[in-house]
Amino acid sequence: MKILVPVKRVVDFNVKIRVKSDQSGIELANVKMSMNPFCEIAVEEAVRLKEKGIATEIIAVSIGPQQAQETLRTALAMGADRAILVQTDVNVEPLAVAKILKALVDKETPQLVILGKQSIDGDNNQTGQMLAALLGWGQGTFASKVEKDGDDLKITREIDGGLETLDLKLPCVVTTDLRLNEPRYASLPNIMKAKQKPLATMAPADLGVDVTPRVVTLKVSEPPKRKAGIKVKDVTELVDKLKNEAKVI
């Protein structure tokens, strides 16, 4: 089974985001960028499927600027076999990403595409679902467990108040939730080896996809500053404040 794993380069989850002074977006100059955490989980799951002898080849794909090569090298160091960078400086929206991935699926014929459930920059939570629709494939979103079950995939999803188990016919699309696994750190020898692994570069136009944005961001603003807290001297004062000032009890 061949697996395609799309990985996105985003602002590192540890960075405190700053809004640009003209409110047109967030500050990206000199900001640490990393692989989207849910994509790391997707790479890890693909590597585990390969280690179990279920997957035969893992192809990591990123759509983004030239620097997204670093994200792909991380995926290669974690265990992907080869990588494809679809290079563009445009801020590619989920529908265009899904169209590019669809074109790559047509070319590479994987049996499984495993993506993050959401990119932590745009919080879109759209690409996997759009890709499944464009392909006409089944989808298992927010997977917390992935198992091979005969010719099918068994996906466990965390839903309100319980677990839902799906049986998916291959080929299919899976998106990863936080508790699916804990991604490994790439070891130094694997980081060195990853430098030798194949990384192909192409443009969206090579795949016949127009990435012109369709959505305009009108304004980005910071959340209102929270008021500083106070210390109360005892429970009586706390109850009094909750009742008479905050009026919540």
Residue 221 C-beta: closest distance to ligand AMP, Å:
21
Residues of span 26-85 touching ligand AMP by CB under 6 A = 36, 38-39, 42, 61-64
Query: 114, 176 in Cβ contact below 8 A?
Result: yes
Interface segment toward ligand AMP; rule CB under 6 A; list 116-124, 196-204, 220-228, 237-245: 116-124
The distance of closest approach from Cβ of residue 55 to ligand AMP in the complex, given in angstroms and rounded to an integer, is 17
| 124 vs 192 by CB, closer to ligand AMP | 124
CB of 185 to ligand AMP, least distance (A): 19
Asked if 190 contacts 78 with a C-beta cutoff of 8 angstroms, the reply is yes
Rounded least distance, CB 57 to ligand AMP, Å? 18
- Give min distance, CB of 230 to ligand AMP, in A: 39
Q: Which stretch binds ligand AMP (CB under 6 A): 46-54, 114-122, 179-187, 193-201?
A: 114-122
How many angstroms separate the CA atoms of 83 and 186, rounded?
16
The enclosing H or E element of 114 equals strand 112-116
Task: Answer yes or no: are the C-beta atoms of 59 and 82 closer than 8 Å.
Answer: yes
How far is residue 143's CA from residue 173's CA, in Å, rounded to a whole number?
A: 11
Residue nearer to ligand AMP on the CB measure, 28 or 242: 28
- CB atoms inside a 10 Å sphere around CB 176: 31
Pairing of strands 138-149, 152-159: antiparallel
Stretch of residues binding ligand AMP (CB under 6 A), selected from 47-55, 120-128, 177-185, 234-242: 120-128
With CB under 6 A as the contact rule, the residue among 94, 110, 171, 183 that binds ligand AMP is: 94
Using CB under 6 A, pick the residue from 8, 50, 73, 102 that binds ligand AMP. Answer: 8
Q: How many helices (H) and strands (E) would you count in the chain?
A: 6, 11
Per CB under 6 A, 99 contacts ligand AMP: no
Q: Which of 61, 71, 59, 60 is nearest to 10 (CA)?
A: 71
Looking at 1, 3, 4, 7, which residue binds ligand AMP (CB under 6 A)?
7
H-type helices in 88-137, by residue range? 94-108, 127-135
Backbone angles phi, psi at 65, to 5 degrees: -70, 175
Rounded distance between C-alpha atoms, residue 82 and residue 58, angstroms: 7
Q: How far is the CB of 173 from ligand AMP (least distance, A)?
A: 10
Query: Which positions touch ligand AMP (CB under 6 A)?
Result: 6-8, 36, 38-39, 42, 61-64, 92, 94, 97, 115-116, 118-119, 122, 124-128
